[in-house]
Amino acid sequence: MFYNRNYKGYQSETHREFNMPVRNRLHNDHYRFEMHQYDVPSTDILELDDQFVLELALPGVVLDDVELKIEGNFLTVIAKRTPTMFEEKASYLRRELPATLMVREFEFETEILWENVEARLDRGLLFISLPKLEAAIRIPVSHGSIEGHVSSTKTRTLKTEVRSGKEITIK
């Protein structure tokens, strides 16, 4: 499993904010935005048997402006969004899209096979596939019997019968 290192204790802070009056929440959000030099992109995280898949929302980001850094069990995603021509000439009445810099950092407790990590950017979504190091190897089992010889003081023949997909009898 993993957690986002930037958000330790986030759940309790969120719980407190949802219990505040709306006016106070908006006031706090304004000052929180002013304090940070970057935004944290929204992320969906999926866990499969053999890998994690991260989907990060990076609107307006091009491929050359995305950077992934790996240090130990930490993955850092850094993305830069180029301001549009309107942003340079106008002032905002409302701003909901991310600022020019977005950063998200994850720490994984499960060991990751870092050399096989893959990432692709598609229509504003960054998909990162992180294969687990301890992924189980699947061994196919077929129907029938297998005979093998075991060397010891006495050579004996082992006969294995597979009765169903789950039952194996060795005689």
Give pLDDT tens digits for 85-116: 777 788 888 888 887 899 999 998 888 999 99
Q: What is the mean pLDDT of residues 41-57?
A: 95
Q: Rounded to an integer, what distance in angstroms lies between the CA atom of residue 18 and that of residue 68?
A: 33
* Chain region(s) in the chain for CATH 2.60.40.790: 2-131
Q: What is the CATH number of domain 2-131?
A: 2.60.40.790
**Residue 142, pLDDT above cutoff 80:** no
- Which residues, in sequence order, are bridge partners of residue 162? 144, 168
Burial code (b: 16+ CB inside 10 Å, e: under 16) for 142-161 equals eeeeeeeeeeeeeeeeeeee
Mean pLDDT of 25-42: 59
Give the length of the chain.
Answer: 171
Closest to 148 in 3D by CA, of 122, 171, 128: 171
Quote the pTM value. Answer: 0.58
